[in-house]
Structure formats: C-alpha cells, structure tokens
Structure 1
Amino acid sequence: MCGRFTQYEPRSHYIEVISPDKEFASGIDDIPLDRYNVAPGTRVLLLNQREDKIFLDPVNWGYQPGWAKESKRPPMINARVETVATSRMFRPLFEHGRALVMADGWYEWKKDPSDTKIKQPYFIYHKSHTPLFFAAISRFHPEAEDAPDDDGFVIITAASDEGLLDIHDRRPLVLDRDQALEWLDGDTLPERALEIAEKESIPPSAFDWHPVTKKVGSIRNNGPELIEPINDPLV
C-alpha cells in the first residue's frame, strides 16, 4: 500500500522533469513544498489535465462517495490496479478522473515475521533520485468555492516483487514521463490507461530504500530528518 510519502521539492522541480508540451495553467515557483510526511486526510497537490492544459490543484487524499459514507465505510486512500477499472467505487474515477501525484519517495513499514507488532519504517525512492509520479484517480470540483464532501483522490497500487517485496507486498504505481503524460490525457481511452497501469509502470528494480526513524509514524513530525537513514533498524 502507500500510506505516507514525501513532496518536499519546489513545484518547478517536478514540472521541469515531466515538462509537458501542453500549456501549464497553474502557478510554478521555486519555493520548496517541504512536506516530508504527507498523510491521508490532508490536501495534496494533484497534477491533472483539463482540456489541453495541465493544472495543479490541492485535493484531499482519500475518497468516500456518499453511498460508502452511508454504509459507514472509511475513506479509501489506495485502489488496487487489479480492480480499479471495474469496481463500483473506482470505475467512474478511472474513466474520467485520472491524475498524478508528485513525490520524491514513499514510506512502508516492514513487519518482524516473529512479532507483527514490531514494525520498521523504510523510505523508498528512485535509484537516480528523480521525482516520482504516482498514478492516481480523482473526483473533485476545481471551480467550486466549497468542495463537496466526496471530493478526493486515491493512489493506485500494484503487487511488489523482486527485493521490494521484502519491505511490503504492495507499492504505488509509478509512471515515467511518457506514460504519465499519456495517463493524464483525456483522449487516452480507458483500455489504454489500463494497459499502462498493468504493464508499463516503473519496475521495483528501479527503486532503492533504507530504514528511517519511527518518528515518521506521527503526522505531527515533519522535516528532512525523517528520510535520513538510521543504523539500527528493528527489522
């Protein structure tokens, strides 16, 4: 799964990497975002395309349509790639609300096989330290003065393999530049978007990771010390 990630570079850092040919309609600056512990339930800058322009909008991380709220189901923060295009909850978002989450890396907690109460957080990032673009799906109203309660987004996850499986059995779906732009494009058919998600994401072999402080477990903590490697991991 993906339950915490970082988004600490300036907007310009991510945009320069994805460098869309289409017009970018939102403001771009060189002020660091400084978010080292992005948690569900908070508003996150989301890349999305409307007509031929790329936008950055703050959207709540978590999605709970009205019928799910009535049945007391908690907000979802992730959607599995295996069912994202067919499930009752996510199919409309997949067809009409594809988006990207800019990130530098994400956190996963590795469990001690002999005692699952013991968990060690790890920070996972691209081996080349390039920005990451998580495939996401969303429903939101950018022009509304008051956002509806069911506005939000989820990050798509896939099964882990190779060495990354040792940390966690799920991972966020990370797209490279070309696939990310095609994913955003409203002219991309859902069938093609599913093909990108299922077959063309960046493989686990492209990532590296190291253990970090358990302080990342509290959303009150935020700072570069959270991503620094530690020498005495619990697991």
Structure 2
Amino acid sequence: MRDTQVLPRALGADVSDDRKWRGGDHIPLYNIAPGLCPWMNMLHHGELLFIGMTWGYRTPDETAAKRKPWINARIEKALTGRYFRHMFREGRVIVPAGGWYEWTLENGKKQPWYITRRTGQPIFMAGLSNYKPRELGKPEQTAEVGFVIVTEDCEGGMVDIHDRRPVVLEPEDAWRWMNSDTPVEEAAHIAQARSLPTEEFMWWKVDRAVNRADPNNNRKELLTPINEST
C-alpha cells in the first residue's frame, strides 16, 4: 500500500500527525514468501511501530546448523511449549496484510488460492517475534530476528487444504494482543476465541505464478481470479 496511513488508520492509530507516517512509501507486496520482509506491528512504550521484519524465526543453534526457519506457531503450543513461550510473553506482534495464499493439489500441481476479508478491510494476523527495539544504554540485539504467524485449527481448512489458518483479529483485539500489559492468559483467550470466523472471508483461485517466490514476481495481477473456462 503506497498510502502509509492506510494500515495505521485501519488499525485505529492516531494519524493526525502525518509527519510520523511519512517515512517513505512502502512498495506493495503481492507475493510475500518466508524470508521476505513485510510489515510487522508492535507496541513499544505505548507507541505503535511499523517495522520491516523477516518472516521466519530460528534459534541461534538452528541458525548455526543452517536449519530452515519456523514460519508458523500453533496457538495450542505457543503458550506452553518452550520454543515460543518467551515470545508469547514478550513478543506478541501483528502482521498486517490484504490477505494470504493457501494451496491445493490439482492434477499433480500446486494451485494457489487468495483469501481475504469480504469487507475489503486489511487483515491483522497475530504473530510472535524475538525482535526488541534498541534502547539507549542497552546492547544491540545480536541474535537473528524474525517473526512467525500464529495459527489455529479451522476444521478442515478454508479451501479444503489443511486444518490450519492464521489467527486474524479485529483492530481492538489486535491492540490488546500487542499490549505487553495484557496478561498472558488474556492474550491466549484472544487468539483462541476472538479470531475472525471463516464466514468473514472469501477466496478464489489465482495464477500459478504465485508459486514462484521471487522478489521480482510482484504485481497486483497476481490477485486476479483465474478464468477456468478458458
């Protein structure tokens, strides 16, 4: 989105001081894949931050072993499991977007689908990150940083793909999710009980060019429904 106020306004942020949101246009991304750097929202001392952050997280040991980063975190395990527990307590973030892709297998080929809100509003996906904004007098973060998207069970999938989908929140719940003052138990309830239901979304098949994760393969036409009659 080129209008840098669109997402903060949709999230309910105060955009009256346009100097704060004038920090250069952000090139729209229509084919985001793990390893790329979309926007990530977080609250820092009450201030809403928009940060370009790598989609994917791995521990220093996993980095040294050159293992693939994790890109999702199951809400059922993020709270109690040792791997993401520290981020669930201190690194709850929001990943804003227009929608996301899922895939089916048709005639031995991966068929992408685009999923978005019926209202046309941006979506706000719950995420977790190990990123910490640098503060005066404190050492700079040296570990590899990134984020994962929190997923939930969706009883068979939105387009009959699998049984997982991102946790998508309304703006007011997104603020509560990001707020470090929100108790962990309340944050868990938000993710488990406040995610937008399936009927709030619509989806359609799009061109298989989406399967090519290339930063140069980025155009709005990737979201266009394909004409299966031709």
Q: Distance in 2 between matches of 1:118 and 1:152?
A: 30
**Structure 1 residue 96: deviation in Å?**
0.2
Q: Tell me which of 27, 34, 45 is aligned to 1:40.
A: 34
Change (3 A) 1:25 1:131: same
**Structure 1 residue 72: deviation in Å?**
5.2
Question: Is residue 128 of structure 2 the alignment partner of residue 137 of structure 1?
Answer: yes
Unaligned runs of 5+ in 2: none
Q: Distance in 2 between matches of 1:124 and 1:174?
A: 12
Q: Identity over aligned residues, as a percent? A: 34
Q: Secondary structure at the match of 1:187?
A: coil
User: What is the TM-score normalised by the length of structure 1?
Assistant: 0.85
- Residues 179-234 of structure 1, C-alpha deviations (whole Å, 9 max, x = no match): 1010011110111000001111111111000100000111221101100000129x
Unaligned runs of 5+ in 1: 1-7
Q: Tell me which of 219, 224, 229 is aligned to 1:228.
A: 224
**Contact 1:20–1:181 under 8 Å retained in 2:** no
Change (3 A) 1:228 1:54: same
Higher strand share: 1
Deviates more, 1:159-168 or 1:74-83: 159-168
The alignment's C-alpha RMSD in Å is 2.7
Task: Count how many residue pairs are aligned between Structure 1 and Structure 2.
Answer: 223
Task: Tell me the equivalent position of 1:3.
Answer: none
Q: Distance in 2 between matches of 1:75 and 1:26?
A: 36
Q: Distance in 2 between matches of 1:47 and 1:26?
A: 18
Q: Secondary structure at the match of 1:60?
A: coil
- Residues 30-64 of structure 1, C-alpha deviations (whole Å, 9 max, x = no match): 94531101111122221100111111112211100
Q: Distance in 2 between matches of 1:148 and 1:81?
A: 27
Q: Tell me which of 115, 118, 127 is aligned to 1:124.
A: 115
- Residues 93-151 of structure 1, C-alpha deviations (whole Å, 9 max, x = no match): 01000000110000000123xx5x32210000001110000000101143389763421
**Structure 1 residue 177: deviation in Å?**
1.1
Q: Secondary structure at the match of 2:30?
A: strand
**Contact 1:26–1:54 under 8 Å retained in 2:** no
Deviates more, 1:183-192 or 1:136-145: 136-145
Q: Distance in 1 between matches of 2:84 and 2:75?
A: 10
